[in-house]
Each structure stands twice: as C-alpha cells, then as structure tokens.
Amino acid sequence: MFDIFFSYPTFDSMARLATPLLFACLAGLYSERSGVVDIGLEGKMLGAAFGAASVAFLTANAWLGLLAGIVVAVSLSLLHGFASITNRGNQIVSGVAINFLAAGLTALLGQAWFGQGGRTPSLPAGGRFLEITLPFAEEMASVPFIGRFYAEFLSGHSILVYGAFLAVPLTWWVLFRTRFGLRLRAVGESPAAVDTAGISVTFLRYRAVIICGILCGFAGAYLAIAQSSGFIKDMTAGKGFIALAALIFAKWKPVNAMLACLLFGYLDAVAIRMQGQSIPGIGEVPVQVFQALPYVLTVILLAGFIGKAIPPKASGIPYLKERT
C-alpha cells in the first residue's frame, strides 16, 4: 500500500506524467502573462503531437519530429494571435475553435495519410526520444539514499523531461530578470502604459504567443514521440485543460507551475496504481476521485478558499490603441 504513494516507480511516473503538463503550463504562462488567454493549449498540443509523430515516422528522426511539432503548434498560435490580437476577437472563442480544428484535422489527415483510423504508424528506430541513463547511474545505485535517488529517479528519463524542468528556471529568468520579461508582464497588466512608453503591444503579444506555441510543440512532441511511439487520436485527453488548471493553481508563476504540475502528475500516477486497491480503514477509493481531483482542487482555489488566484489584469481584453 505504502508503495503506491511513496516509491521510486511512482515518483518516476509522476515526473513523466508531469512533463507534458509542465511544457503546456509554461506555454500558457507566457501567453496569459502577456494578456492573451489561451484555452487552446489542448488543441496546440494535439496538433504538435500529430505533426511530430508524422514527421518522426517519415524521417526516422526524433529531432525533426520535434521541429515539426513546434511548427504546427506555432502556426496554431499565430492563428490565435491573428484572431485575438490583430482582429481583437474573443480569445475564449478563438481557443475553442483551435481545439476543434486540431481535434478534427489530426484525425482526418491521419486517416487520409496513414489509413490507420487516425493514428500514425509505429515509429521507426531513431524516431523516438529514448530514455537517457545519466553517467555513473549504475555505479551510484548501490550508494544508499542519494545514489538510489540519482539512479532511480533522476536518471532514465527522455531528454524532453529534463528540458521541461530546465525550462522552469529559464522561464523565471526570462520573465523576472530580462527587459523582455518585464515588458511582457507589463503588457499583461496594463497595455496602455506599455503603449505610452513607445513599445508595440501587438509585437510583444505576438512574441508571447509564439513562445507559447514553441512550448506547446514540446508538450505535444513529448506525448507522441517520447512517452508513446506514435500519435493516437485524441491522445492529449484533456491534458491541455489540466495544464490550464495547473496554471491557475500556480497563480501564473513559473516555480509554482512546476509544483502544481508535479502535484497533478503525482495524482495521475497514484490513480493508475490505485486501480483495484483498497486503503486500510477507508476502503477502495474509486479511480474517478483521483481523476477529478485536479479539477476540484483548481475550482476550490479559484473560489478563493486556498489563497486567491488573480489573473493578469488585462488578460482576455483585446487592446484598442485608439478610437477612430
């Protein structure tokens, strides 16, 4: 029983399950910090997963697959930007549209190109990011505690997992220690002030949205060509929305985002292992409880019962430079 909650396999799968969430969550962070609400994370991830799997299958090169995933996600991001920044359309509506487009197009094109009911063929060797064993992992395994931690938890993930966790300090640094980050945060709070300072609101927001696309590309590629070996119809299965929940849970902060994603990844990992198990004294906890928990927690947080989640002030509001 104890093993389900506290064991290296559980923690391992927590890290793996948290990775796509973390990429997507940071993606949303850039976008929403600049004032562009993005509920299309799910669709971008799905599109990226499909692009990555298709190209990785055709070229047998995981890196080209990743690149393709990024290209797809950035294109969808630009569409979102065109609708919500240039045309000042409703950002929620645009996000919903992108989710539908991605869900439909990936399945449709997948069927038309590969004829396997919307999935892509299994990836050839080289088309997948494999687990990396960190140096000296085997030698360290016998060292108690630290060695085991290194060998069993830190070592043995795909490069994208490390990338996701490195993206956290990087994001923190970009947002809080660079000029670009300062402006990005400013444009999410008070675009008029940024505009008055002579900085283009449009260009800033477009850059934020493009970064969002790049990170969604990583998230999707991870799902399709690292975690699994190919694209499956609807393979994101709501992960984009969990990432969105994590973003709110993290109150739009990078380090919190990582912790939130780890928490949600942990819940997922435990849920998988809890199936058919019963906790002494409580009895069998239905899997659905664990599945619903991230959403329930987010709603409770949103309700202001655990701290208060306050979004960037200008998020969701298109910026109108002047009245003509």
Partner 1 sequence: MSAGQLPRWADLGLIPLLNLTAAFLVSGLVVLIIGENPIEVVQILLWGSLGFGEGIGFTLFYATNFIFTGLAVAVAFHAGLFNIGGEGQAYVGGLGVAAACLLLDRIVPWWVTLPFVILGSAAAGAAWAFIPAWLQAKRGSHVVITTIMFNFIAASMMVYLLVNVIGKEGSMQPETRTFEDGGRLPMLNDIFPFFDFGTAPVNLSLLLALLSAFGVWLLIWRTRLGYAIRTLGANATAAVYAGISPARIIIITMMISGGLAGMMAINEIMGSQHRLLIEFVSGYGFVGIAVALMGRGHPVGIVLAAILFGMLYQGGAELAFEIPAVTRDMILVIQGLVILFAGALEYMFRPTLVRIFTFARTPASSVPAAAK
142 binds partner 1, rule: CB under 8 A = no
| Among positions 27, 41, 67, 98, the unique one binding partner 1 when judged by CB under 8 A | 98
Span interacting with partner 1, options 6-14, 155-163, 174-182, 293-301, rule CB under 8 A: 293-301
129/264 with CB nearer partner 1: 264
Residue 116 as a binder of partner 1 (CB under 8 A): the answer is no
For 98-127, the three-class secondary structure string (H helix, E strand, C coil) is: HHHHHHHHHHHHHHHHHCCCCCCCCCCCCC
What is the three-class DSSP state of 14?
A: helix
Least distance between partner 1 and beta carbon 132 (Å):
33
Beta strand 131-132 with 157-158 is antiparallel
Give min distance, CB of 131 to partner 1, in A.
30
Please give the Cα distance from 113 to 69 (Å, whole number).
17
Q: How far apart are CA 140 and CA 152, in angstroms?
A: 10
Q: Judged by CB under 8 A, does residue 88 bind partner 1?
A: yes
Counting contacts by CB under 8 A, is residue 58 touching partner 1? Answer: no
Distance of alpha carbon 270 from alpha carbon 247, whole angstroms: 21
296: contact with partner 1 by CB under 8 A: yes
| Angle subtended at Cα 267 by Cα 263 and Cα 269, rounded to the nearest 5 degrees | 110
Query: Does 137 participate in binding partner 1 (rule CB under 8 A)?
Result: no
- Token duo for residue 112: 């038309």
Fill in the per-residue mask, 238 to 267: x = in contact with partner 1 (CB under 8 A), - = not in contact. Answer: x--x--xx--x-------------------
Q: How many residues does the chain have?
A: 324
Phi and psi torsions of 233, nearest 5°: -50, 130
Strands (E), 224-279: 278-279
Q: From the list 4, 64, 97, 174, which residue makes contact with partner 1 (rule: CB under 8 A)?
A: 97
CB of 95 to partner 1, least distance (A): 8
Residue placing its CB nearer to partner 1 in the complex, 192 or 289:
289
Nearest alpha-carbon partner for 27 in 257, 308, 322: 257
Give the nearer residue to partner 1 in terms of CB position, either 177 or 313: 313
Nearer to partner 1, 110 or 163 (CB): 110
Of residues 205, 171, 219, 204, the one with CA closest to residue 70:
219
Catalog residues that contact partner 1 under the rule CB under 8 A. 39, 79, 82-84, 87-94, 96-105, 107-109, 111-112, 118, 238, 241, 244-245, 248, 286, 288-289, 291-292, 295-296, 298-299, 302-304, 309, 311, 323-324
